Chain A
Amino acid sequence: MKFTLKNQFGALALIFLLFSCNESGSERPLGAYDTGILIMNEGAFGANDGEVFHFDPVTGTTKVNVFEAENNRPFAGLLEDMVLEEDRLYLVANTGKVEIVNPGDFKSRGAVIGDLNQPRSLATSRGKLFISDYGPYDASFKTPDSYVAVVSGLDGGTVKKKIKVSNKPEDLFTSGKYVFVAGSEGGKIEIIDADTEVVSKTLEVPGKPVQFFEQRGDLWVYSYDSEKIYFQSFHRDNLTKKEFRELPLSKATGRITLGEDDRIYILTSTGWPDYNDGIAVVSIFDTTLIPSLKTGSGFYGIGFDKERQEIYVSNSKGFQGNGEVTIYNKSGVEVKKMEVGRGPSGFVFR
């Protein structure tokens, strides 16, 4: 059984999302976690030991297992994504739940438990939660019943509707009443009308779309295949495609982060059996294309601290135990290395 599970994990581990859409702006006093960096530790398959660590770059201190420390119970899930929206931090576990906490003190506000299969990401719109979910695996480890789950209420509750979407939906992005869905397996961008809760439009993009982001006021989606990477922007008013870029970067993964001067950092990996990982740097707006700023193995997540202009790269260390985060300055010189939780896969910079 052990190895069957491992194979399943391989299927699960294909794509991960790294950063979320920050739309915070609160009036309340700053909490302990309102500043600094939240480190998302996915946890190991079968152990459900995902957790959030907090790193204070000013003092250099790390607080471990923040969710458990503030709620007196373990997170108990594989932490797939952290989404900061509507003054709430949504912790999405691909083992089937979403925990909702206050971003400042990490106290639980609610959860979505039950009715989810393999949630991947989340977006809020019109006071509702939209959760992308692979759906259950079928006998051949495919996910033909992927959906976006709708929950009425920003603090969780029960799933009121599952909107069928193309296979393996990943990132979501809200623009007005529309929720954009990155349909990774079919190369589709499906746009859900948050009022009617139906897919109102589907656009096709090359490669495997996994991540939305905004740059220079435009909404873009990043997609990739084994040879190239692609960026597609959208007209948000009439929901049509706007600009398209295609760059010759091979072996890209789904993990990207936005850096300084409109640079985009992308993790690359040759995968099995050679397994050489690297960090590439590209830009949509100029000719920047550095295929390997850094090389190594075990790279699992990447983030960029805009305030201190530092690159954070996490290493899973084979999921055998705790992982590691290395911080580089923007010229690639190592600044710090620290032990973090198991399977560190992403960051939220507060």
Chain B
Amino acid sequence: MTVLFWVVSVFGYMPMQDTVSLEQVEVYAPPLDRFAQGQKLVNFDSKVLEAYAARSLGDLLQEQSPVFVRQYGAGMLASPSFRGTSAGHTAIFWNGLPVNSPSLGQSDLSILPVEAIDQAQLHFGSSGALFGNEAIGGSVHLGSKTEFAKGWQGKLSQTFGSFGLFNSALSGGFSSKKISTKSRFYRQFAQNDFSYRDISKPGTPETKAQNAAVEQLGFVQDFAWNVSSKSQFKAAFWWNKADRQIQPVMGSSTTDQQSDENVRAVLDYFRFGTTSVWNLKTGFVRDNQFFNESQNQTRQFFLASDWDFAKGKSWQFKAGVRSTFIKGDLSTYAATDQRFEFYQSARWQTAENLTVSLNLRQFAYLDNFIPFLPGIGGDWKFWEGEKQELLLKASLGKGFKAPTLNDRFWNPGGNPDLLPEESVNGEIGLNWLKKGAFSWDQSLTYYRMKVDNWIIWLPRGSIWSPENIRKVQNQGIEYQGNTKWESGKLNWEMGLSYTFSQALDLTSEPANPRQLPYTPQHQANGNLSAGIGGVAVNLSSFYVGQRAIGTGNARILDSYQIWNAGLRFSDLKWVKTRFPISFHVLNLLDRDYQVLYLRAMPGRSYQLNLTIHL
């Protein structure tokens, strides 16, 4: 309750300073790392997002981050696993709005096309205090980026590829100093009739994938308005519809169909003071899914407000409240839920290059004020040379996940007595930054995490029902390094990443805990690119180690390493029109692999992209 009082008292005397601030030249977006001291963040730059524009967020995360993505086939369900946790332990935000399905408690990364976003950041570890529900293993932050005073802009993009891939995107926008608007449409289609060796059949014949076609249509509208020098409105709307045939597991010939329609809308109002920003946020998310003929629909309404302010030179504060109203009309039940969150953050910058932040969040659901989620972290730049610096990061935080609507209400089997899943995460990391002609940014992180009350669905006779039974101990090491240098006229860039992730199931065999199913201990990725003028070549690879398909002494799936290559001409011009062309070869060595057991994945494929900037 103290937290609540604190918030109320802050808003009680909220000063709307009448000091005039400068005209906003950028659409305001609170930076993710403002209060995330000591925590690991990965930011994808616009070049990477552009290269993955015709692909899904799942592909991006698998190939360019330490996250393991459980892919059920090409374009099929793809769920993230951060630090050995499950898909439900990943909070996903779009323009600050939590977009995980409240009935499933997760998102399918295959139906979050990179085409629809301009920004993507990953946050690692439990940070319930900063991000709330579901941020146990980590969180994904997606968003639009609109700017003022850029005039008219337009883009037409077309990608052709193997297995009937045909992706089109059209975007256009206008911005003055006062308003900014951007619209984009996309359609992504793949027949996915790739060949694979069907090991379920006698003679293991080469077979063409059946029932795996996918089509996605989408529309994104961004709008921002500088009402005055002190206030700004920002709105975004995203409609995405995915119609997918569900690629059957080898040995089955199911012809399931799934259709997902998601509508997300967010409206932000920012009021700027000299040293403060007040934000009022409202949002709506509707997920409508048909699996064959069974329909599941959920709607979420959000209302949030926070106040971010500075006190002196070394103190920053933020305090806020968020309420969520959920309505679910599922195929076997209907339910409503409401949640309230009160949060506050404080950051203290000492003179000695030390920044410490403290974050607190009080969550309330089911009429209970639980749980309370604290988090503390610090960044210490303990050595700074002329061109180099070393930064030590350390943090400790809690995370939690409220049982999903399905967990609680699915009929039959839902368990209304479930407790929230809870986690504690601690990490320590070292960043080494070097500037100059041969520059790098390297980081090494060690984390340790405990997840308790992990919810698992178990058969109870012919009915499956969820229980808080699993306890997991995770620890691991994450290395990431990016290096840039020049040799002659060539610009080189190299990225390397390695993750060791141990996630021990303390429940199935407490005396002999083993790695959780589908959780590789070793993962790595790397990419090397060389550019000269407007031409760049790129070679990248990712490695996923062995993983068991079940608990105990279960079957082990082989590790795999996949290579991709790309060639890009970015400065092609005709009069004033720029038309970059890029060509990619995916799975260059035509490797036959499975991410999940008996789920066929495509061999070598080609993609040609032509973009025209108007």
Interface residues in chain A, defined as those with a beta carbon under 8 Å from any beta carbon in chain B: 1-4, 6-7, 9-11, 13-14, 44, 46-49, 65, 73-77, 93, 95-97, 99, 108, 110-111, 113-114, 139, 269-273, 275, 316-322, 339, 342
Contacts and interface: CB of A to CB of B under 8 A. Distances in A.
Given A74-B251, A271-B461, 10 more contacts: A1-B77, A1-B291, A2-B104, A7-B410, A7-B464, A47-B598, A76-B200, A272-B462, A320-B517, A322-B550
B453 interface: no
Contact of A270 (B202, B258, B461, B548): B461
B552 A10 contact: no
B25 interface: no
Interface stretch (B292-300, B394-402, B492-500, B603-611): B292-300
Nearest to B331: A4
11 contacts: A3-B104, A4-B294, A13-B462, A48-B200, A49-B555, A73-B204, A271-B460, A272-B460, A273-B463, A275-B460, A321-B552
Interface in B489-525: 508, 517
Given A49-B597, A96-B252, A272 B291 contact: no
Given A47-B598, A271-B460, A339 B553 contact: yes
A343 to B, nearest CB: 9
Contact of A46 (B249, B551, B554): B249
A273 B548 contact: no
Contacts of B204: 73
Contact of B253 (A7, A75, A96, A317): A96
Given A1-B291, A322-B551, A114 B253 contact: yes
Contact of B462 (A99, A271, A319, A320): A271
Contacts of B465: 272-273
B549 A108 contact: no
B550 A321 contact: yes
A124 B365 CA distance: 60
A96 B553 CA distance: 27
A254 B5 CA distance: 60
Contacts of B406: 3
B289 interface: yes
A321 B508 contact: yes
Contacts of A95: 249, 251-252
Contacts of B598: 47-49, 74, 76
B200 A77 contact: yes
A208 to B, nearest CB: 13
Nearest to A9: B464
A113 B203 CA distance: 13
Contact of B200 (A11, A73, A270): A73
Nearest to A65: B555
Contact of B410 (A3, A44, A111, A319): A3
Contacts of B457: 3, 6
B456 A49 contact: no
Contacts of A14: 462
Contacts of A2: 104
B436 interface: no
A156 to B, nearest CB: 9
Contact of B553 (A110, A111, A139, A322): A322
Nearest to B458: A318
